[in-house]
Amino acid sequence: MVAISPDLPAVEVRRQTASGRMALLALALAVVALAAMPFWAKTGTIRMVLELCCYLAVAQMWNMLAGYAGLVSVGQQAFMGAAGYALFVLAQTFGVNPFLAIFLSLLVPAVLAVPCYLLLHRLDGPYFAIGTWVVAEVFRLVASNLSWVNAGAGMSLSVMKDYTGFQRNVAMSLLCALMVLVSIGGSYWFLRSRYGLALIAMRDNPVAAASQGVNVRRLRFMIYVAAAVGCGLVGAVYFMAQLRINPQAAFDPMWSNVAIFIVMVGGIASIEGVLIGTLIYFVADRWFGEYGASYFVVLGVMTVLVALYARGGIWGMISARWDAPWFPIRRHLILTGDKTP
């Protein structure tokens, strides 16, 4: 052991930066603005923002899985659909208050994620990914065959008619704020906690992290379940806004496509990247969505190019040039100049 010498310079651990403080403020303002939408936005705008928030949250969940936990999933739609269906069954079939049912429905992905993980973690990296897709397909086929969720025809959420348009807008807006708070704020809080440090150690080198006493397996499991719940929240909110659910839409692999595109193009393993990627996707979808297939060809090719030539995505290129993170996670040692006594 090296003894602490009195000659060592004084240091201070810095965990926040000017850019980080500004981003936190912006995040807080955004959450407040989202919650206040009924007072400044039309229903159409709220619905559009809701969709944006859904993309953002799903992408961030995928980012936590693939970017930090090393769990590449292409089947998170399994948990979105499961929670969506749980909401419809609770609210429509059992008459539970739909806004309460949203939170109750999160138990379903949480409980389902446990056996899924226990089965899938036996598969090697790339096989794990395809395995998650099989699970999502199983969920879809089960939903298509279950008569008490009306099989392939799906269900409607007609109980929402009991609420006024304004009431629904208030709920949508609060749920948007919640999704952003949980996915972005929650991830940021998690990444800055002692778990976060362990996660980053794990991302950089799982073997080394394991030897440092980080329980890699338990951490992976926790993130998998948390991401399932996060995706479940998005699913419940999204299908509540849609008022309809059917197996095809509930377990649509499109969600995985979008999440992967957002995270990879924006910049994997960074919250900033997810924000950038979501904006790009959302704008591209508004502008070029009408071109249908050819637009998806471009998205696919862009994803390939990022995987081949720019693994860090757009945020990777930005942060290589400017050291101004919006969500600083690393700890910096700063020399304070004077010597400790």
> For the residues of 254-273, what is the DSSP string, one character each?
HHHHHHHHHHHHH-TT-HHH
Q: How far is the CB of 235 from another protein (least distance, A)?
A: 20
Hey, what are 41's tokens?
């936005």
Site string for another protein, 133-172 (x = CB under 8 A): xxx-xx--xx-xx---------------------------
Beta-carbon-side half-sphere exposure of residue 149 (alpha carbons within 13 Å): 27
The interface region with another protein, picked from 1-9, 56-64, 95-103, 123-131 by CB under 8 A, is: 123-131
Residue pair 144/152 in contact by the 8 Å Cβ criterion? yes
Q: Which of 25, 111, 114, 119 binds another protein (CB under 8 A)?
A: 119
Q: What does the alpha-carbon distance between residue 123 and residue 109 come to, in Å, rounded to a whole number?
A: 21
Strands 9-14 and 332-339: antiparallel
The interface region with another protein, picked from 83-91, 103-111, 130-138, 319-327 by CB under 8 A, is: 130-138
Q: Which of 59, 90, 129, 329 binds another protein (CB under 8 A)?
A: 129
Hey, what are 322's tokens?
């400017």
Q: Which of 2, 8, 13, 124 binds another protein (CB under 8 A)?
A: 124
Q: Which of 302, 306, 304, 308 is nearest to 316 (CA)?
A: 306
Hey, what are 226's tokens?
């948390």
Q: Which of 264, 274, 276, 314 binds another protein (CB under 8 A)?
A: 264
Q: Which of 112, 120, 170, 177 binds another protein (CB under 8 A)?
A: 120
The answer to the question of residue 59 lying near another protein (CB under 8 A) is no
Q: How far is the CB of 312 from another protein (least distance, A)?
A: 12
Residue pair 259/59 in contact by the 8 Å Cβ criterion? yes
What residues contact residue 260 under an 8 Å CB cut-off, 6+ apart? 62, 66, 74, 303
The interface region with another protein, picked from 14-22, 76-84, 165-173, 304-312 by CB under 8 A, is: 304-312
Q: How far is the CB of 256 from another protein (least distance, A)?
A: 8
260-to-54, 100, 224 alpha-carbon distances in Å: 14, 31, 16
Q: Which residues bind another protein (CB under 8 A)?
A: 66, 70, 72, 74, 119-120, 122-127, 129-131, 133-135, 137-138, 141-142, 144-145, 253, 257, 260-261, 264, 268, 292-308, 311
